[in-house]
Structure 1
């Protein structure tokens, strides 16, 4: 029987080189490095982001999370931090994805879509041709203090599944994932990747026991899904 591919795992809110290597050791395919955000956990300085990104081996993706809505600012941030991926957590107001791609050849562009209503589906379909992947999260851009990630909340996975079915780029699923619900996420949404922060932390620190538990549960549930569909 052919197994369902295990989704890639991105561990977000990495705050030190030690955390980076811990996440990699347990199986992370990508690391999230959070620059300035209006709210939420994990924010570190661009200097520290640069230091962490420099120590990560090439097979692992390093995501710079940015709240900037200006393409030129984003380009400068990536040049400063030297990550291999940029995760745009808000919508662009100034400049374009093409500006970013032209200025940063070889850098992957991931756009966050905060899944709230059917409008999120339209937004994802519109954005997909211009980016390398879409990350579906549970933030809220309409609040006075924007939530651009790290909420730990679930969103409507039925909408996420619709988005995954209608776009031609890889989908990362974020927001409230934990060992207890990862099987449902994999079965319902079938994402390319999963994005975790609070589920693998204790008192703000990366927790090796929680990491091990999540990766074990992910492997187990992926095998279960494979058996069901073969």
Structure 2
């Protein structure tokens, strides 16, 4: 069963809609240096993550400059898991792992060197990142190449980058990832989720795949 993370929540109503649709994880973005309508202040992130019910994971998505900065934000927001966008090197990810109890995902561009991060993190998010390392670009990448990464690395891989209700079933069939991650692909406006699109995305991500 392919897990689904819906990211970039700014409203409690959208958190509830993603949970009702069957999302396994709800992402909230805070502490990033890039311009995005999905970023919220740490206090707001804490409220949104607190609205995520038991048995669904609330994920803090952030781009810290240092391990200490990440640790402080995690302490303030209390997520179930943390996703950092490649701003920490593998040794820093290992150091952060030793300082917090939450599992750590690292989001990296599909062209990045992934092996060292696979050893340091609990999972990887393979994305189409912009020049500053931020996600939410709405751009897909080479799914066949990502499928090779999934086969090669012994760590959970989430596929991100340009996923929508229209293409997620094909993406899952091609890549066979542990999970899929979407933000802009299920929005009416930046930071505001289209609840029907979220429901369609979750349903189609879980549709039976054709096995070659």
* TM-score when normalising by structure 2: 0.92
**8 Å CA contact retained: 1:69, 1:93:** no
Could you say if the C-alpha distance between residues 41 and 163 of structure 1 is closer, same or farther in structure 2, counting changes exceeding 3 Å? farther
Stretches of 4+ aligned residues off by more than 4 angstroms:
none
Residue 169 (1) aligns with residue 175 (2)? no
d(CA) in 2 for partners of 1:28 and 1:79?
24
TM superposition shift of 1:45 = 0.6
d(CA) in 1 for partners of 2:20 and 2:145?
33
Higher fraction of helix? 1
Greater radius of gyration (CA):
1
What SS is found at the alignment partner of 1:96?
helix
Residue 128 (1) aligns with residue 118 (2)? yes
**8 Å CA contact retained: 1:10, 1:28:** yes
Segments of 5+ residues of structure 2 without an aligned counterpart are: none
**8 Å CA contact retained: 1:138, 1:153:** yes
Which residue of 209, 212, 228 maps to 2:199? 212
Residue 186 (1) aligns with residue 186 (2)? no
Report the RMSD for the aligned CA atoms in angstroms: 1.8
Partner of residue 56, structure 1: 52
Could you say if the C-alpha distance between residues 165 and 211 of structure 1 is closer, same or farther in structure 2, counting changes exceeding 3 Å? same
**8 Å CA contact retained: 1:87, 1:109:** yes
TM superposition shift of 1:61 = 1.1
What count of residue pairs does the alignment treat as equivalent?
210
Residue 76 (1) aligns with residue 72 (2)? yes
**8 Å CA contact retained: 2:14, 2:195:** no
Could you say if the C-alpha distance between residues 95 and 77 of structure 1 is closer, same or farther in structure 2, counting changes exceeding 3 Å? farther
**8 Å CA contact retained: 2:84, 2:105:** yes
What SS is found at the alignment partner of 2:26?
strand
Moved more, 166-175 or 154-163: 154-163
* TM-score when normalising by structure 1: 0.85
Partner of residue 137, structure 1: 127
Structure 2 counterparts to residues 90-101 of structure 1, below 5 A: 90-93=86-89, 96-101=92-97
Partner of residue 159, structure 1: 145
TM superposition shift of 1:147 = 4.1
d(CA) in 2 for partners of 1:212 and 1:24?
10
Could you say if the C-alpha distance between residues 191 and 94 of structure 1 is closer, same or farther in structure 2, counting changes exceeding 3 Å? closer
d(CA) in 1 for partners of 2:14 and 2:199?
14
